Amino acid sequence: MKNVIDYYKKIYYVMKRIRLVEEEISKNYKHQKMRCPTHLSIGQELVGGLISLFLKKNDFAISTHRAHAHYLGKGGDLKALISELYGKITGCSKGRGGSMHLIDKKVSFMGSTAIVGSNIPIGVGLALSIKFDKSNKISCIFLGDGSIEEGVFFESVNFTAVKPTPTLFICENNNYSVYTPIHLRQPSDRKIYEMVESLGVKSFLADSRDINDTIIKFKKAVKFVRENKQPVFFEITTYRWKEHCGPNEDDHLKYRSEKELSEWKKADPLKEIEKVLLKNHLLTNIQIKKITHKIKDEIAKAFDYAEKSEFPKFNSVNIDEYAN
């Protein structure tokens, strides 16, 4: 197996890019030009880094309301993402979808949706199409711990367990569904990945604070799905820093403790990867500054592009609609 640390450099760049993009979105949201609700992944960037390494361009991916990191990790266009947040015709969904409805078929990012759990059966359907085509692709479905409480999750898992399809479920368990912790929503003695394993789907559990272990397990999960044409459930414990929906902090609501948030911020995977790269002389502080400058320049150009782009014409409102 390739040395895990060899992956750190690329993961770091992708995570850093996602972090800086979302920080800029957070900073600019107050100007009232991004009028769609937005769910940020600050603190949860590791999954975006992982998929940039181990998913192929033609592998399907379908996501949730918190999709920016997945879209960028899959190779989605940054200018098209920012333009979509601005509601411009140059957006990846032509200005009609906003933050929660991103699509880019050029990189096989097949969409994201605001309805919790609704992407899951679509992702399994995409995997079924792969099975029919007999290709070597896989279908990657992103979901949160809240999706586990939806009936459609169990129906989809049951289907792909009985009729095996190359499906990779990636569950980002950040412990909260909006403001409610998981122990108030699910049995306290139940582990999600063990429950899914009992339903007949091979499962993994990883902690985003243990980067080496997470990389090794994620690589194994992808390899298993691709080689065996069978589903895998990959649960990763993680944590969002910002409010559930919006660009701000929400600590004043007191639904989570300052200690809990502080502990997760101290264990920031992005900073941990940076420390390892510096310690092993794979990057220098000067190189990190250059990387940061390069990404910030790209982000500034993306926002400028979005500002200058046009809004969709009213007579185009029905284009690409599948139902009225």
Tell me what pLDDT residue 1 has: 43
Structural tokens at position 30 = 């107050």
Supply the mean pLDDT for the chain.
Answer: 96
Cα 89 to Cα 125: distance, rounded to the nearest angstrom:
29
- pTM reported for the whole predicted model: 0.96
Cα 29 to Cα 34: distance, rounded to the nearest angstrom:
6
In DSSP notation, 18-59 reads HHHHHHHHHHHGGGS---S-----TT-THHHHHHHHHS-TTS
Q: What is the CATH number of domain 4-304?
A: 3.40.50.970
Task: Classify residue 71 as exposed, middle or buried by CB count within 10 Å of its CB (0-12, 13-18, 19+).
Answer: buried
Tell me what pLDDT residue 207 has: 98
Classify 247 as helix, strand or coil.
coil
Tell me what pLDDT residue 2 has: 59
String of b and e for 276-287 (b: at least 16 CB within 10 Å)?
bbeeeeebeeee
Please give the single-letter amino acid code of residue 262.
S
Q: Delimit the domains of the chain by residue range.
A: 4-304
Structural tokens at position 142 = 């992103």
Tell me what pLDDT residue 315 has: 80
Tell me what pLDDT residue 323 has: 57
| Degrees, nearest 5: CA angle 125-127-128 | 65
* Residues 6 or more apart whose Cβ sits within 8 Å of residue 43: 238, 239, 240, 241, 242, 264, 265, 268
The length of the chain in residues reads 324
Tell me what pLDDT residue 322 has: 63
Tell me what pLDDT residue 221 has: 98
C-alpha dist (Å) from residue 89 to 46, 61, 68, 298, 312: 30, 23, 18, 20, 5
Tell me what pLDDT residue 3 has: 81
Structural tokens at position 56 = 């192929």
Half-sphere exposure of 65 (CA within 13 A, CB side): 17
Which positions of the chain have pLDDT values less than 70? 1-2, 322-324
